[in-house]
C-alpha cells in the first residue's frame, strides 16, 4: 500500500446537475466533487463574543445564513472555517439533499469521496499560497463570478455575481462595489483570478 497522496478523479456539479458518475476503476478510488458556486452559498461570519462551543457556532452560523439568504438552514449543510484570533470567518453551505445524494451515489459506484467542496473553496485552496493578506480572489466562470475579499489576512466579503459575459457591470465595477461595501480600498488591490472567464477580467482597465 502506498502512503503517497494519490490523484483523485474529479466530478463537477453544475447548476443543472452533474454528468453521470461512472463506476470507480478500483474499489475505494478517490473522488473529488466540485459544486458550482451558484449552487453553494458563501457568507462571512463575524465572530461573536463569548462563543462557548461548536454547537453555539453552528447555531450562530445558521441564524446568519437564514438572515442573509432567507432559506431554511435545516435543509442545508453548513460549514464554517473558524480561524483562531480572526474576527471574520468564511462559511459555506450546500443543499443537504445534494450532499447526501452525491455521497451515496459515489459510494454506490465504488468511489471514496475525498473532498466535496464549492468551486471557490477548491480554487482558493489551490492558489492560497500565492495570495497576500490583502487581496481579491475571483473565480470567473461561465456560470458566475465569485469575488472574495481579504484584508489583513481576514475575510471581509464574498459575493457571487452574474457571469462577466452576461453582466451589465464590468469586473472593475464589481470589485469597487464589493470593496466599498466593506470599506476596503480597491485601488491597487492585488487581484488573483481563475476560471474560464479570467481573460475578461484581465482585459478590463
Partner 1 sequence: MRRLALDFAPRPQSAGRGGWLAGALGVLLLCVAGSVWLPTGTVEASHMSEASVQPPLPDADAARAIDAAVRELNLPWIETCDALAGQFGASAAAALDALESDGRRGVLRLSGRAHSVASVQDLPARLRALPAIADVTLVGQETHGSGERPVRFVIELRWREGT
Whose CA is closest to 37, among 185, 146, 112, 138? 146
Residues 31-50 touching partner 1, rule: CB under 8 A, are 33
Q: Using alpha carbons only, what angle is made at residue 16 by residues 10 and 19, rounded to the nearest 5 degrees? A: 35
Size of interface with partner 1, in residues (CB under 8 A):
33
**What are the residue ranges of helices labelled H in the chain?**
54-69, 96-108, 119-127, 171-182, 198-203
Contacts of 86 (CB under 8 A, 6+ apart): 47, 153, 154, 155
Pick from 90, 147, 160, 184: which binds partner 1 (CB under 8 A)? 90
- Kindly state the helix (H) or strand (E) to which residue 23 belongs, with its residue range: none
| Window contacting partner 1 (CB under 8 A); options: 106-114, 167-175, 179-187, 197-205 | 106-114
Pick from 9, 83, 169, 189: which binds partner 1 (CB under 8 A)? 83
> All 3 cell numbers of residue 200?
475578461
Residues 124-183 touching partner 1, rule: CB under 8 A, are 124-125, 128-129, 131-133, 135, 150, 153
Pick from 92, 139, 149, 184: which binds partner 1 (CB under 8 A)? 92
Is residue 8 close enough to count as binding partner 1 by CB under 8 A? no
Binding site for partner 1 (CB under 8 A): 1-3, 33, 77, 79-81, 83, 90-92, 94, 99, 103, 112-118, 121, 124-125, 128-129, 131-133, 135, 150, 153
Amino acid at each position: 500500500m502506498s502512503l503517497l497522496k494519490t490523484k483523485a478523479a474529479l466530478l463537477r456539479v453544475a447548476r443543472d446537475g452533474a454528468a453521470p458518475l461512472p463506476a470507480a476503476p478500483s474499489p475505494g478510488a478517490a473522488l473529488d466533487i466540485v459544486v458550482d458556486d451558484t449552487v453553494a452559498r458563501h457568507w462571512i461570519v463575524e465572530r461573536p463574543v463569548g462563543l462557548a462551543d461548536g454547537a453555539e457556532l453552528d447555531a450562530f452560523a445558521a441564524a446568519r445564513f437564514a438572515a442573509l439568504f432567507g432559506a431554511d438552514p435545516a435543509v442545508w449543510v453548513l460549514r464554517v472555517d473558524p480561524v483562531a484570533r480572526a474576527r471574520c470567518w468564511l462559511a459555506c453551505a450546500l443543499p443537504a439533499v445534494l450532499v447526501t445524494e452525491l455521497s451515496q451515489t459515489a459510494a454506490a459506484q465504488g468511489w471514496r469521496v475525498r473532498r466535496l467542496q464549492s468551486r471557490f473553496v477548491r480554487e482558493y485552496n489551490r492558489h492560497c499560497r500565492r495570495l497576500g493578506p490583502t487581496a481579491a480572489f475571483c473565480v470567473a466562470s461561465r456560470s458566475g463570478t465569485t469575488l472574495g475579499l481579504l484584508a489583513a489576512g481576514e475575510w471581509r466579503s464574498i459575493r457571487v455575481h452574474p457571469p462577466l459575459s452576461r453582466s451589465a457591470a464590468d469586473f472593475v465595477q464589481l470589485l469597487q462595489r464589493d470593496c466599498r461595501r466593506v470599506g476596503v480600498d480597491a485601488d491597487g488591490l492585488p487581484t488573483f483570478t481563475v476560471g474560464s472567464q479570467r481573460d475578461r477580467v484581465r482585459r478590463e482597465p
